[in-house]
Amino acid sequence: MRRVGTVSKTAQGLAVVRSAGDSHPDIGTPVVDESLSTVGRVVDVFGPVDRPYLAISPADGVRLTDLLGSKLYAR
């Protein structure tokens, strides 16, 4: 597992995460929180190459407001 980043905001039904570095998970990668619960999947990578943003589509039953400020990890 590797750290993806921290949820900074939500927009249009997605959680927006600033990548922890220049390497990022591929689109479709499952994402988990610190308790290893699946919270969603990467659906888009955008922004600057050195620290891109990731758009995370939430899993069923996951509320986006609960994810704000959460550290997320790629499975």
Residue 10 lies in a domain: yes
Residue 74 lies in a domain: no
For residue 21, what pLDDT is reported?
Answer: 79
pLDDT grade for 75, boundaries at 50, 70 and 90: confident
Domain with residue 28: its CATH number is: 2.40.10.230
Range of the domain at 53: 2-62
Q: Which pTM does this prediction carry?
A: 0.90
**Chain segment 16-62, per-residue pLDDT in tens:** 999 887 788 999 999 999 999 999 999 999 999 888 999 999 999 99
The DSSP-derived string for 18-61 is: EESSS--PPTT-EEE-TT--EEEEEEEEES-SSS-EEEEEEPTT
Residue 26 lies in a domain: yes
Domain count of the fold of the chain: 1
Residue 45 lies in a domain: yes
Residue 13 lies in a domain: yes
For residue 14, what pLDDT is reported?
Answer: 96
